A = this chain, B = another copy of it.
Amino acid sequence: MREAPRKLKMTPQRLAILDYLRDNVKHPSAETIFKAMKDKFPTMSFATVYNTLSTLSKANRLRELTIDPEKKRFDPDLKPHHHLICIRCGKIVDVKVDYGLKLPYAVKKGFEIIGNHIEFYGICDECRSLGK
């Protein structure tokens, strides 16, 4: 209803970002993506990365995660799933379980429910062994 996912103009920059994201399970931030692009596209600007990510998100080609308090993370996996995040280092792991969550009527009344996302939080191996 908001906007029809019109066909995207395919530029080398977009292809590179799409390619970088394909099968990427690291949930990178915009900065991580920007740095990864630096090799092949030394001239690519930060604005392009943000523009592209925003465009791809609106076109439903990726999902923005609000799980990291510091910054947005980007996930190319469109199948509904959840995440486990290390509160120390920010590492994010996929949780591909369908919990079939239902909201009590009293809560959802008035709302048009669109989806849900579970954030599990914990401390990963490395962070524990590296002493905190």
Contacts and interface: CB of A to CB of B under 8 A. Distances in A.
Interface of A: 1-2, 64, 66-69, 72, 84, 86-87, 93-95, 97, 99, 101, 103-104, 107-108, 110-125, 128, 132
A68 B69 contact: no
Contacts of A121: 113-117
Nearest to A95: B107
A67 B66 contact: yes
The 3 closest A-B CB pairs, nearest first, are A110-B125, A113-B122, A111-B122
A87 B115 CA distance: 11
A99 B97 CA distance: 14
One complex includes copies of this chain to the number of: 2
A67 B66 CA distance: 6
A111 B128 CA distance: 9
A111 B99 contact: no
Nearest to A99: B101
A37 to B, nearest CB: 23
A65 to B, nearest CB: 9
